[in-house]
Structure 1
Amino acid sequence: MSQPKVLIAFYSRSGVTEALANAVAEGARASGAEVRLRRARELVSAEVMALAPGWAEQAAALNAKYEAPTEADAEWADAIIFGTPTRFGAVTSELKAYIDSLGGLWFQGKLNGKAGSVFGSSSTPHGGNESTLISLYNPLAHLGLIIVPLGYADPSLFKSGTPYGASAVSGNPPAPPTADDLEVANFQGRRVAFVARALKAAHITETKAS
């Protein structure tokens, strides 16, 4: 059977969520998955970005490394993993705009049965990681994805992360995710790839039977 295909669509400004995304990708690839890493784009004007020192420069550097996520990426994937910093306890507008763009695929039922999972970061402890991840479960359900939480299925979850998805607390100024944070993210990639492979096999079997 062909390897599962995993789309990791994320938004990152300082590089913290990007680091988690890459650890998720490493875990998925280690489980034999083909991975596409995509960064959602800014929605605000250059004038607004200029109000936060370094934002425009960081965005340009990240956009040079990663393509923007597209509808075609979501259709291609067997699993979709969303990653976002928390903004006032919820998903960033940049990533939400990408999720909202998937309405056409939703209407056609083309996302039904794919695996879905989430990860995120905040700048302060109790700064919204869990509420952000749980809030992302709502669009996953509406899109028809089969939600893959982490639970406590790996020893790494007793050191870091959440049962809802990998996470990191960066501080201010932001520091990179810890080794424990990245271990959870790596496990998430492996777990989602495993579930995506099983779902893909079940779909192939069901299709042949019908």
Structure 2
Amino acid sequence: MTVPKILIAFYSRNGSTEALAKAIAEGAEIEGADVRLRRAREVVPAEVMAKAPGWVEKATEMNAKYPMPTEEDAEWADAIIFGTPTRFGAVTSELKAYIDSLGGLWFQGKLNGKVGSVFGSTSSTHGGNESTLLSLYNPMAHLGLIIVPLGYADPVLFEAGTPYGATHVSVQDTVAPNAKQLEVARFQGRRVASVARRLTVGTEAFFN
């Protein structure tokens, strides 16, 4: 059986997006995927990070757990799942910097036909989860990724998440993702891995 290779490239400052990323990885692994979890790195100076309580400490902790995403990771993967908190209703500069670094692969056409999907979190109820996920569809289209949304393909989507990807609202970082939100995330991992496997098998059959 073909083993789909999944890259989950995310940024997380306080742990909400990280929790969703881990649940997506669990779902993909249930589907038999080989998963790489990668955390994008900070792009602001240390003195800026120091002004936000806990930022330096949490970044150090997470960076010890997750390697930074690389160009090689994207080339290796059959599917790339991007995860980000919202920043003023849009993607974080940290994750966007990684996406922007993929220009060399884009120029060579090496990302064409890979699966792409997104997930995210925000601090407030109307903080921009959906606008952020939809904004990531634009660079994914430019990279040549085949965008895989969730739709309402699982009953849990009627209770949590969005049709565009798994989401969470942390209420100023006081609430962790609940069981339904994590279930949506696991479904996203399973769905992306399943689609990636079908596309990979189809490609192998076409060229062999």
Regarding TM over 0.5, the answer is yes
> Counterpart in 1 of 2:20?
20
Aligned to 1:190: 190
1:37-186, aligned counterparts within 5 Å? 37-186=37-186
TM-score (norm 1): 0.98
RMSD of aligned C-alpha atoms? 0.6
Shift of 1:195: 0.3
C-alpha displacement at 1:2, in angstroms? 2.8
Per-residue displacement from partner, 1:10-66 (whole Å, max 9, x unpaired)? 000000000000000000000000000000000011100010011000000000000
Residue 186 of structure 1 aligns to which amino acid in structure 2?
Answer: R
Secondary structure of residue in 1 paired with 2:84:
strand
Extract unaligned runs of 5+ from structure 1. Answer: none
Q: Could you tell me which amino acid in structure 2 is paired with residue 28 of structure 1?
A: A
- 1: distance between equivalents of 2:202 and 2:102? 24
Contact 1:16 1:174 in 2 (8 A): no
> Structure 2: which amino acid aligns with 1:190?
R
CA contact (8 A) 1:6 1:34 kept: yes
1:101-128 deviation per Cα after TM superposition (whole angstroms, max 9, x unaligned): 0000000000000000000000111210
Distance (Å, rounded) in 1 between the aligned partners of 2:174 and 2:102: 31
For each residue in 1:168-187, what CA deviation from the matched residue of structure 2 results, as whole angstroms up to 9, or x when unmatched?
00011332111111000000
Which runs of no fewer than 5 residues in structure 2 stay unpaired?
Answer: none
- CA distance in 2 between counterparts of 1:203 and 1:125 reads 42
Give secondary structure in 1 for the equivalent of 2:121.
Answer: strand
CA contact 1:26–1:186 (8 Å) conserved in 2: yes
Number of paired residues? Answer: 208
